[in-house]
Structure 1
């Protein structure tokens, strides 16, 4: 059987999508408040697990089970274009799943459990019979939890050598996961036609372009507002001010996005999401300052 080129395999694994979970993992590391000294091998392994392994697996799984949709929306992708022949796409998805679990075993039980849940969500999102992506509410929730919350919690767990993260870190991880639902919705604007024809009820298909855009903005803004309130409650006003400022700029960008969502979804993904993840880091730094204050 013809083998795919390495470039086709790399395109299947979509390196550009690895950044969000790697960033979230790093935020979990920072939020733990623990020193990196002596833990660098674990941190590096965890970053690799979050991005080039678990996230890459999810991309391979999605491309295989979305090959018919991609033939409409993105016919240049490796599988519908024929550059990934036969069942190579499925084989790579399975191998990457096993490699991810193997790497996760080196990071402790908690990290292995988090990786296992993330991989289950990746398969459940794309593969039948569950195929959560058939409904934008469930599918985007699964992706958001996998990309942001689980990656954050894994980073914190790795730093504590397997202990479950403290409640404030769990709370922020879940809030930023809720906000990431809006980020996932932004990604659905580019595939409306194929989703509609293949019976995938993404939010732009269910609610229309304008309705889905409003939901995406609310999903991103409300959790950040809650984060600001929590940071003030935890007496970290500087970090609260940073997150509030980043949110205020996002709200200005959202106004422009809502004026023409279909044309500006990619633009807002590039600009608004950057501000969103910077707020994640500011929140993680707030927890770190609290942890350092306690230990000192």
Structure 2
């Protein structure tokens, strides 16, 4: 009986370590990207099926999990000094095992995307995977690294369009603008997070704040033009969600500007990452309130699990 209890405890510790490795709260911010992308394509005249959207969303979760896993795999030497509590430097996950796990997640994501929505989805998954690996590996720390991290998010939105019968090339400029502004926002947040352990510069906080303002404003503009013309009630819901995004990120980044210490910046980064969900939901409202409601539903588990696991 004692041996059984020890075995159960060991399994629980391993599961908890891997949940921390993949930043389990953050995983719930990936499907809303896909939902927003699919909604943009639908608003532009495309059609989508629930199985395809669900499959692509699940693949995006695997891609995100791979990204955080490989991030810690590559960062293990630095984390040993700056973040010794993380699973790899703490010895709760072996570094080679993390590398294999991350690579397996990437492969499974691509295969799932193809099974769910065909070749175009597989190509979309490969594009996200390439941006993730580029950021985690060679580009992190420099300007190209911030852009790569932002590109991964923007591509994740475009990945969502592959769950529809619309091609990326057929999308109007207003639909293509959303992935760009989301990429800029994430790049700005990544810029702040780069110095999270030593304290952020106020300049990087201002950059992130400006990117957040542009992203929220573009979402509102989209809803006030394309959305309002066809779905007034849904557009109103979307505007409220976009306003919420602006308020939440504005307050968080204002705290970081006043006090750019590691103790403040860490939680602020977590807030800015989780705020992607209402921004995606606001964008999704362009195709109808149902799309927005499905996307915003992910905020509950994301915020709830952030009380148990670190986001940044």
User: TM-score normalised to the size of structure 1?
Assistant: 0.76
Residue 259 of structure 2: aligned partner:
260
Residue 280 of structure 1: aligned partner:
280
Residue 165 of structure 2: aligned partner:
160
Computed over aligned residues only, the root mean square deviation of the Cα atoms, in angstroms, reads 3.2
Shift of 1:275: 4.9
Does residue 60 (structure 1) correspond to residue 66 (structure 2)? The answer is no
Of 22, 36, 46, which residue of structure 2 is paired with 1:13? Answer: 22
Residue deviations 1:23-75, cap 9 Å, x none?
21122233333799982222221121111x11111112111110001101221
- SS of the aligned residue for 2:179 comes to helix
Does residue 212 (structure 1) correspond to residue 222 (structure 2)? The answer is no
Q: Distance in 2 between matches of 1:46 and 1:8?
A: 26
Residue 225 of structure 1: aligned partner:
217
Alignment of 1:22-171 (within 5 A): 22-33=31-42, 39-51=49-61, 53-85=62-94, 87-106=96-115, 107-127=117-137, 131-135=138-142, 137-147=143-153, 149-160=154-165, 164=169, 166-167=171-172, 168-171=174-177
**Structure 1's 160 and 36: CA in aligned 2 closer, same or farther, altered over 3 A?**
closer
Count of aligned positions: 267
Do the aligned residues in 2 keep the contact of 1:153 with 1:165 (CA within 8 Å)?
Answer: no
Q: Distance in 1 between matches of 2:196 and 2:281?
A: 28
Shift of 1:79: 1.6
Residue deviations 1:234-270, cap 9 Å, x none?
4737468533565356445543432113243244345
Q: Distance in 2 between matches of 1:210 and 1:245?
A: 23
User: TM-score normalised to the size of structure 2?
Assistant: 0.73
Residue 200 of structure 1: aligned partner:
none
Q: Distance in 1 between matches of 2:248 and 2:97?
A: 44
**Structure 1's 285 and 165: CA in aligned 2 closer, same or farther, altered over 3 A?**
farther
Q: Distance in 2 between matches of 1:77 and 1:57?
A: 16
Q: Distance in 2 between matches of 1:172 and 1:17?
A: 20
- SS of the aligned residue for 2:155 comes to helix
Do the aligned residues in 2 keep the contact of 1:179 with 1:224 (CA within 8 Å)?
Answer: no
Q: Distance in 2 between matches of 1:78 and 1:270?
A: 18
